[in-house]
Amino acid sequence: GDARRHVARAFSDKPFRDIVVMKPFYVVDHSEGWEALLRVIQRTTGVSEDGLMTLSVAGLLALLLCAPFFFLRRPEAWLAAVMAQVIAIPELPARWTQGRPFLLTEVILVCLLLVWSREEARQPSPKLIAGTFLAFALSAWMHGAWYLWVLLPVAFCLAGRFRAAACLTACWLAGAGAGSLLTGHPIAFLKEQVMIAFAIRAETSGARHGGLQ
């Protein structure tokens, strides 16, 4: 589904709304950063559609599986956790091999949790704050769905880590703003993401109630 769309966009300069009929509020591609990266890779290497799809799937999966190693003293603990998740949720491998940029957001989430849960993060350094800001900006530009990150500071707040929650909130809002600026349509981008979420919720709710009837 989406992976094929992202790869196709690397071979075309047309915006997605000029290829597929979309709802009127859809004016900005929500994964412009990811599609821009794929376009650069394709034009630099000349890779084919199949090659770019393979790179998307394998690259994002490798990043998800290996990125946490840099933040753990016992990397095998991460592999054990992944195995436990796969056993508990058998459909996870299918989700992890779709070649979609939501995996990049998952990688960023895992890394931020590992870093900010450390004791030294109770007094976050300028380096940590700057890195967190860049991570939020990258996620917003590559994947969209910037509003979902509100769950991270809320989780830290519920855990009693109020200083961390405040810092994460500031980094999230600044990062989302920076990521939206990279699209060239910041207001439309931020607004559209929220409208997409409400549209999906309405469609899902309507389908569920329709099934009950």
Q: pLDDT for 46-65, tens place per residue?
A: 999 999 999 999 999 999 99
User: What pLDDT digit, counting tens, does each position of 146-196 carry?
Assistant: 999 999 999 999 999 999 999 999 999 999 999 999 988 888 888 888 887
Q: What is the 3-state secondary structure (H, E, C) of the chain?
A: CHHHHHHHHCCCCCCHHHCCCCCCCCCCCCCHHHHHHHHHHHHHHCCCHHHHHHHHHHHHHHHHHHHHHHHCCCHHHHHHHHHHHHHHCCCHHHHHCCCCCHHHHHHHHHHHHHHHCCHHHHCCCHHHHHHHHHHHHHHHHHHCCHHHHHHHHHHHHHCCCHHHHHHHHHHHHHHHHHHHHHHCCHHHHHHHHHHHHHHHHHHHHHHHHHHHC
pTM for the full predicted model:
0.85
